Structure 1
Amino acid sequence: MTQPEISLVLPAYNEQDNILNVIETSCQHLEQINRSWELIVVDNCSSDKTAELVQSIVDQRDNVRLIVHDENRYYSGSCQTALNESRGKWIAIMDSDGQFSAADLPLFIEKLQAGANLVFGWRKKRNDPVFRLFSSSVFNTLGKFWLSIPVHDLNVGIRMFDQKVAEATEFRHRLNMANPELYTRVKIAGLNIDEVVVQHFAREHGHVCHDFSKIWKLFWDVNHYLKTLSQELKAAKKSPPHQSVENTEVDARKVA
């Protein structure tokens, strides 16, 4: 089977009200890019009809695939599946809630062609409730404190990278975040990181997975997660290339 140039992966959890439109519009944008592509939906053990709806499209399109987890592996687990299953020269992972658009992929490709290995999106103009803006501000501040992350948007739901990043990355921490660990693995590998401004739309259907009634615990657990990644990054800098960094995992239940 010929390797596609682009793999677009959509992690999905209970997105039955959004997924069909996201797939349809994403396919349209991918076709306009005029490069070979595949679209993969990773269903993270949804309890609604997400997988069933996606399968109806898979039956009609050869370049759309569905992978269904038999248990919830958290967002980072879905991203790991994306790394394992994607065949593209460039891999994009985009949330399936309709807040991002595959129309922005050419912007990412331009950065990758210019020498970046990993490109994060940046929601410079966001369409989110005040509370989500506040929580993201806290996450970004913590990310800069612990990891000196140079990008503006720590928890953005769209990013694109090349096969070097896929080969260098293994998500060891199972939780509903992925970008900080992705950044850490890429930093350890000595690869190049960039960002690009993307469109951001208001969520029309569904809700976020985080339990915001436990927000202070969430902040505490994210802080612990970032601190752990910081320790891994420092250990990697001190270790000779042939030595592996100790795998210190964060309990997924703590940041769910």
Structure 2
Amino acid sequence: MEANINLSVIILGYRAGDSIKEFAQKTKEIVRKLTSSFEIILVGNYIENSEDKTKDIIEKFVDDNPDFISICKPKKGMMGWDMKEGLNISTGKYICVIDGDGQFPIESIEKCYKEIIRGEYDLVKTYRSRRNDGFYRKLISKVYNFIFSVLFSGIKSKDVNSKPKMFTREAYEIMNLKSDDWFIDAEIMLKINENKMKFYEFPVEFYELSGRASFVKFKAIFEFVKNLISYKLKKTN
């Protein structure tokens, strides 16, 4: 990869398996039309002694396709830790994070990029205006976003956890992200607001998850709420 990269795309591939290869190639097809200066980072962190083969799949894929970058480490956290590991090795002027399970439309990266290079926003993201992931996931998301809006009413986001999220390198460095778990999406929005940075979000369709069950369980609501309240209390003390 060249120095002074324009766009870094980080694909979170935890337990994605073989599907990560097609997703990565489709991402490259879209990104190369936007800029010739890019890097695509595949995050395949794994739980030791598990049956997950994603690490091996990603490393073999990158060996065969050296225009991609891999990072595959034993996990020391959940989604937030994975995201930070990818962010830490990114070099782009603009940084995009997207889940690699295919539920978010890859094409939305294009709109994120075209909006952020205008220079008006520090963060550009999506919100899920139409969801095909079933009642259970919709309920979790609605409850979480409602509680977030009550506790942090100054942040007018329709969907805190939606991706892709694309931000400037300056915004990334200012945010100084700390979360190792699912709270990192909320932390991004909170840090954007606290530092008086601007964001823009646009609607996308959220596809049905195929091939595996969701990692987001109902108890995740309690984890989300605990983290939100803890963050709120720290800021008010």
TM over 0.5: yes
Which residue of structure 1 lines up, in the alignment, with residue 66 of structure 2?
A: 62
Distance apart, 1:113 and its partner CA: 2.6
Measure, in 2, the Cα distance between the counterparts of 1:59 and 1:218: 36
Q: Is the 8 A contact 2:6 2:94 kept in 1?
A: yes
Structure 2, unaligned runs of 5 or more = none
Distance apart, 1:31 and its partner CA: 1.9
Q: Which one is further off, 187-196 or 91-100?
A: 187-196
Identity rate of aligned residues, in percent? Answer: 21
Distance apart, 1:162 and its partner CA: 0.6
Alignment partner of 1:102 is 2:106 = yes
Q: Which amino acid aligns with 1:162?
A: T
Aligned length: 231
Alignment partner of 1:133 is 2:127 = no
Helix, strand or coil at the partner of 1:172 = coil
Q: Is the 8 A contact 2:18 2:57 kept in 1?
A: no
Measure, in 2, the Cα distance between the counterparts of 1:146 and 1:80: 25
Distance apart, 1:232 and its partner CA: 4.1
Mapping 1:154-169, distance limit 5 Å: 154-169=160-175
Q: Which one is further off, 24-33 or 133-142?
A: 24-33
Q: Which amino acid aligns with 2:128?
A: R
Given candidates 186, 189, 197, the residue that maps to 1:183 is 189
Measure, in 2, the Cα distance between the counterparts of 1:85 and 1:112: 21
Q: Which amino acid aligns with 1:42?
A: V
Distance apart, 1:218 and its partner CA: 3.1
Q: Which amino acid aligns with 1:223?
A: V
Q: TM-score, normalised to structure 2's length?
A: 0.89
Q: Which of structure 1's runs of 4+ aligned residues deviate more than 3 A? A: 231-235
Which residue of structure 2 lines up, in the alignment, with residue 152 of structure 1?
A: 158
Measure, in 1, the Cα distance between the counterparts of 2:207 and 2:60: 26
Distance apart, 1:30 and its partner CA: 1.4
Helix, strand or coil at the partner of 2:206 = coil
Distance apart, 1:234 and its partner CA: 4.4
Measure, in 1, the Cα distance between the counterparts of 2:170 and 2:160: 21
Q: TM-score, normalised to structure 1's length?
A: 0.83
Q: Which amino acid aligns with 1:84?
A: N
- CA RMSD in angstroms comes to 1.8
Which residue of structure 2 lines up, in the alignment, with residue 209 of structure 1?
A: 215
Measure, in 2, the Cα distance between the counterparts of 1:168 and 1:122: 23
